[in-house]
Amino acid sequence: MNDTAAIDYRTLKINGVYQQNAAGDLMVRAKLPGGVLSAEQADAICDISDFFSNGMLHLTCRGNIEVHGVQGDALPEVFRRFHAVGLTSRGACGGAVRSIACAAAEGQSFSRIQILVRALHEHFTGNPYFEGLPKKFKLAVENGYHGAYHLFQDLVMVYLGNEEGRDLCDIWVAGGLGRQPQEGFLLAGRVPFERLIPLIEGVIKVYQKHAPAGKRLKHLLADIGEKEFRALLAVETGGSPVCPIASPFDDALGEVSAPGSYGWIDVPVFAGELAVADLRNIAGIVRDLGDGYLAVSRDQNLLVSLGAGIDAAKLRGALQSAGYLKDEKPLQCRACPGTHACPKGLVATRDVARQLQEALGNKGTDLTWAVSGCPNSCSQPQLADFGIIGVRKGSDSKEALYDLYRREGEGFGKVVREKLSLDALLQAVKELI
């Protein structure tokens, strides 16, 4: 048992550590650039969970991996093991630039996008000029336009492709979900890679100087408006030199050597809950038959990289023989930890996801689903075809209640039913599909 009174949790947050309960259990989050990690890094995370936790891992929809139930006295050894294989948790929580989220499996340009993701990860992680922010600042790179994913981060780069030797992105800012959903707006179009870091730094500096403590960028925009924000940004970026991202080495070899350069194999992980034994087995298969890399998808699945020279059929066959790929299509359901592991959770998200799967049977597998344990919306329910948010915690005297969201057309999903019991929720879902 830890002496929780002696732990400064505010200091730990910036290092990717979050207090889970009054007993002193801690969550440690590995910050993965674009969700990509090597088989050796996967093994290290497995060892940490085996030695210092409960043998279970949580995959997040921003491409990170969390170890829950770690005790404070284990943190030095956890960090040592992270550093030994090139992992970091710095800035995975707290007022910092968070991990660079990226949809690895979408489109044909992810190998090129990884050059950008790696550069941003290395530039902002542990950079003291961009820590101590009013609250978290989330970056993402989208491989083209897919759904509403460009609308909900603090800053999103939508990759448009390479034209006449220049990589180009659209820049969207000031989006967010949570209790006050707000769709981002287009800040700049067709921005070349070499202008991205100065522009991102300018946005963060405006946020850092003008947002109240505890508020996201979307709240600053609500207070000052887009016109004033652009004026402040012009001051911060005026005269900024370009900052090349791709080196001659990247241009010559980066795309060929990047994980996933020939695609990915999607390995389903229900509701983001993954046993260490399974990750260790998959990492072993990847090491023996693959190119040594995996990724965490935004649907909380594992992606197995197909690099140059890999026998995709043999790799897929090994995963199938081990039971990780099945003929039937599973329900695609994201879930935050909820009351299983989060102090803010109001409902047991994984239990809800399992009951949803049982109620639907083989229906709904072509749709996306998300269950959030509270209105903070960490599982991004407003971006799924159907989203479920716990809005009241259950007790002996009252049932837990849920809001049901449906996304159709552009933008975020909208509430279609409110304050439903679990039985009423499952019935409503069956009626709607």
> 122 and 233 share a domain?
yes
Helix (H, G, I), strand (E, B) or coil at 54: coil
**100 inside domain:** no
Instruction: Using CA atoms of 282, 288, 293, 296 in order, give the dihedral in degrees to the nearest 10.
Output: -10
> How far does the chain reach from its first CA to its final CA, in angstroms?
48
Using an 8 Å Cβ cutoff, are 226 and 185 in contact? yes
- DSSP code of 240? P
**230 inside domain:** yes
Query: pLDDT tens track of the chain, all 433 residues?
Result: 455 556 777 788 999 999 998 888 999 999 999 999 999 999 999 999 999 999 999 999 999 999 999 999 999 999 999 999 999 999 999 999 999 999 876 656 877 898 899 999 999 999 999 999 999 999 999 999 989 999 999 999 999 998 998 999 999 999 999 999 999 999 999 999 999 999 999 999 999 999 999 999 999 999 999 999 999 999 999 989 999 887 776 776 666 678 888 899 999 999 999 999 999 999 999 999 999 999 999 999 999 999 888 999 999 999 999 999 998 889 999 999 999 999 999 999 999 999 999 999 989 999 999 999 999 999 999 999 999 999 999 999 999 999 999 999 899 999 999 999 999 999 999 999 8
When divided into structural domains, the chain yields a total of 3
Q: Alpha-carbon distance 218 to 424, whole Å?
A: 34
Domain of residue 117 covers 105-237
401 backbone dihedrals φ, ψ, rounded to 5°: -125, 155
Answer with the one of 311, 327, 343 that is the final residue of a domain.
327
> 231 and 159 share a domain?
yes
> 230 and 109 share a domain?
yes
Answer with the one of 273, 300, 327 that is the final residue of a domain.
327
> 287 and 378 share a domain?
no
Bridge partner residues of 176 (DSSP) = 182
Q: Alpha-carbon distance 246 to 165, whole Å?
A: 11
Q: Alpha-carbon distance 421 to 403, whole Å?
A: 9
Q: Alpha-carbon distance 408 to 385, whole Å?
A: 7
**115 inside domain:** yes
> 85 and 133 share a domain?
no
Please report, for the domain that includes residue 88, its CATH number.
3.90.480.10
174 backbone dihedrals φ, ψ, rounded to 5°: 70, 30
Q: How many CB atoms lie within 10 A of CB 21?
A: 12
Please report, for the domain that includes residue 223, its CATH number.
3.30.413.10
> 90 and 195 share a domain?
no
Q: Alpha-carbon distance 71 to 68, whole Å?
A: 9
> 16 and 140 share a domain?
no
**244 inside domain:** no
Q: Alpha-carbon distance 60 to 102, whole Å?
A: 12
> 274 and 192 share a domain?
no
> 83 and 126 share a domain?
no
**254 inside domain:** no
> 114 and 233 share a domain?
yes
Of the candidates 84, 100, 82, 113, the residue with the CA atom closest to the CA atom of residue 15: 82
**213 inside domain:** yes
**253 inside domain:** no
Go through 137-167 and write b for each residue having 16 or more CB atoms within 10 A of its CB, e for each that does not: bbbbbbbbeebbbbbbbbbbbbbbeeeeeeb
SS3 content of the chain, % helix, strand, coil (to 5): 35, 25, 40
> 356 and 422 share a domain?
yes
> What's the residue count for the chain?
433
pTM of the model as a whole: 0.95
